[in-house]
């Protein structure tokens, strides 16, 4: 694979395939993808807000053919809030992701109001409300859903969708372009950053890494971070196995998740940004094995994650 710089915009990664990169990849700055085969184009994820979605669409118009299909890899807003810019296409997601979008408790038009007065969550939300723009926004939901795997015809070729959730979220999917040797992983991979497992089971996220590795694609486009290869997926897998083993020891001892978090050493991965994202992943492990000890709300969990970000 040719080296791809980590700079904002569209980068050609393989025959008919581009990655739209949005550095630095932190909270909401996610990647998208384009696949063009035989005069038709598929878009993977639509960015977090209308201006970013329009920038993606404008860049796509320069290199790709007619956009006929959109895939949302999961229900986090940074992967589908730009759907309204692509409403002339069919929009695909797993049933679980589509259900989560339709029942989303948060409205991005009131982004700056999330979290209680004086909390880190409120400051973070206000920062996001300044960085992202929801003027004229409305939700545009998937028009078609699938479960398991789906082959999408594109021109005279095919693209394969594989459901690998629940893992990062309830309904994760990956997008594989066999003819080009490219896989778009959504947030199964945060390249060069600490992964975050909101839904779990964590063992499912590890299994999702194995599915990606099994495709043996030369190019791996992560949900966040620079363009990668299988090596980055193996690193994320190793990290999650390490975190799972550490946390299960605390689960067995009956210790609370906060203790598992404070005593976790990421080892060779300690230089990855957002080390505190280990906490929601630990919570997911507790929710599976000791739900009685995993009582924190999303807002309380975020308070701990953001305190770690500030350290
Ligand atoms: Zn994301």
For residue 29, report the distance from its CA to the centre of ligand 1, in Å: 7
For residue 214, report the distance from its CA to the centre of ligand 1, in Å: 23
Per-residue pLDDT of the chain (311 residues; tens, 9 = 90+): 678 999 999 999 999 999 999 999 999 999 999 999 999 999 999 999 999 999 999 999 988 889 999 999 999 999 999 999 999 999 999 999 999 999 998 899 998 889 999 999 999 999 999 999 999 999 999 999 999 999 999 999 999 999 999 999 999 999 999 999 999 999 999 999 999 999 999 999 999 999 999 999 999 999 999 999 999 999 999 999 999 999 999 999 999 999 999 999 999 999 999 999 999 999 999 999 999 998 889 999 999 999 888 76
For residue 281, report the distance from its CA to the centre of ligand 1, in Å: 15
pLDDT at position 129, please?
92
For residue 186, report the distance from its CA to the centre of ligand 1, in Å: 7
* Pairing of β 173-177 and β 157-163: antiparallel
For residue 221, report the distance from its CA to the centre of ligand 1, in Å: 12
For residue 28, report the distance from its CA to the centre of ligand 1, in Å: 6
Q: Please report, for the chain, the start and end positions of each structural domain, with discontinuous segments joined by +.
A: 9-250
List the 219-221 sheet strands across, edge first: 149-154, 157-163, 173-177, 182-184, 219-221
CATH topology of domain 9-250: Metallo-beta-lactamase; Chain A (3.60.15)
Location of structure tokens 């995993």: 294
For residue 257, report the distance from its CA to the centre of ligand 1, in Å: 24
pLDDT at position 206, please?
98
For residue 47, report the distance from its CA to the centre of ligand 1, in Å: 9
For residues 226 and 191, the answer to whether their CB atoms sit within 8 Å is yes
CA distances (Å), origin 113, targets 49, 123, 307: 17, 9, 19
pLDDT at position 3, please?
85
For residue 30, report the distance from its CA to the centre of ligand 1, in Å: 5
pLDDT at position 53, please?
98
């Amino acid at each position: 694979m040719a080296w791809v710089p980590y700079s904002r915009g569209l980068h050609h990664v393989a025959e008919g395939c581009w990655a739209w990169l949005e550095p630095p990849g932190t909270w909401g700055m996610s990647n998208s993808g384009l696949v063009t085969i035989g005069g038709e184009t598929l878009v993977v994820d639509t960015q977090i807000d209308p201006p970013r979605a329009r920038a993606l669409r404008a860049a796509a118009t320069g290199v790709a053919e007619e956009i006929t299909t959109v895939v949302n890899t999961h229900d986090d807003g940074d992967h589908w809030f730009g759907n309204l810019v692509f409403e002339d296409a069919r929009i695909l997601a797993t049933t679980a992701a589509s259900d989560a979008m339709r029942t989303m408790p948060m409205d991005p038009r009131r982004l700056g109001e999330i979290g209680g007065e004086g909390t880190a969550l409120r400051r973070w939300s206000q920062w996001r409300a300044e960085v992202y723009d929801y003027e004229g926004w409305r939700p545009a939901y998937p028009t078609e859903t699938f479960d398991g795997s789906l082959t999408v015809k594109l021109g005279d070729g095919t693209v394969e969708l594989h459901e690998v959730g629940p893992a990062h979220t309830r309904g994760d999917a990956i997008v594989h372009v066999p003819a080009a040797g490219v896989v778009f992983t959504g947030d199964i991979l945060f390249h060069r950053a600490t992964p975050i497992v909101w839904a779990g089971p964590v063992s499912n996220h590890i299994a999702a890494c194995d599915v990606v590795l099994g495709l043996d694609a030369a190019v791996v486009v992560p949900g966040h971070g620079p363009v990668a290869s299988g090596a980055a997926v193996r690193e994320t897998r190793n990290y999650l196995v390490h975190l799972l083993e550490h946390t299960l020891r605390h689960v067995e001892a009956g210790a609370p998740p906060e203790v598992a978090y404070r005593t976790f050493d990421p080892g060779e991965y300690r230089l990855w940004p957002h080390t505190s994202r280990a906490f929601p992943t630990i919570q997911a492990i507790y929710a599976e094995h000791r739900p009685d000890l995993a009582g924190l709300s999303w807002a309380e969990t975020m308070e701990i994650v953001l305190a770690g970000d500030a350290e």
